[in-house]
């Protein structure tokens, strides 16, 4: 399963950051967290909020953005906290550098890409779970 996620991440993540994510075992924690955060937000919109007053496209977009922002924050904070740990890339060779030393822009771009992936997840989950909602089944399309 991890190889499947690695192949997906390989499409849009910088190679050195991807290798650091693999080395620290973060692929199998960041991907399900993005998946479940967006699933929870989609279920919340269609079943917990589920109001005639909030069944408009703009409310759906706001909920999607909230879930994507949460995913963005989780990913960028994870990268920054791993960079702050200053884990040696090769303990026997300190000049080799640290893991997660790519810089803020790489972390931002990775988190932005996960933001877009969360938006995609939310749209897919909306298509799947909206049919059993009593008030919001026609939102957003």
Flag whether 65 is in a domain. Answer: yes
Task: Indicate the number of domains in the chain.
Answer: 1
In this predicted structure, what is the pLDDT of residue 93?
A: 57
Flag whether 23 is in a domain. Answer: no
Q: What is the reported pTM?
A: 0.85
The more confident residue out of 70 and 83 is 70
Distance CA 131, CA 19 (A): 40
pLDDT tens-digit map of 23-62: 777 778 888 888 999 999 988 888 888 777 777 788 889 9
Q: Whose CA is closest to 139, among 38, 66, 51, 41?
A: 51
Flag whether 42 is in a domain. Answer: yes
In this predicted structure, what is the pLDDT of residue 59?
A: 86
Could you tell me the residue range of the domain that residue 63 belongs to? 29-132
CA angle 50, 125, 45 (to 5 degrees): 20
């Amino acid at each position: 399963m991890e190889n499947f996620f690695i192949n997906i991440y390989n499409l849009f993540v910088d190679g050195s950051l991807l290798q650091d994510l693999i080395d620290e075992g973060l692929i199998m924690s960041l991907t399900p967290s993005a998946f479940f955060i967006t699933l929870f937000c989609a279920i919340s919109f269609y079943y917990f909020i589920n109001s005639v007053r909030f069944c408009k496209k703009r409310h759906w977009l706001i909920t999607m953005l909230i879930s994507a922002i949460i995913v963005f924050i989780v990913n960028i904070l994870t990268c920054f906290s791993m960079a702050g740990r200053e884990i040696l890339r090769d303990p026997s060779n300190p000049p080799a550098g640290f893991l997660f030393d790519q810089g803020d822009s790489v972390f931002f771009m990775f988190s932005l890409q996960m933001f877009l992936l969360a938006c995609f997840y939310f749209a897919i989950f909306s298509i799947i779970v909206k049919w059993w909602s009593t008030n919001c089944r026609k939102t957003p399309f």
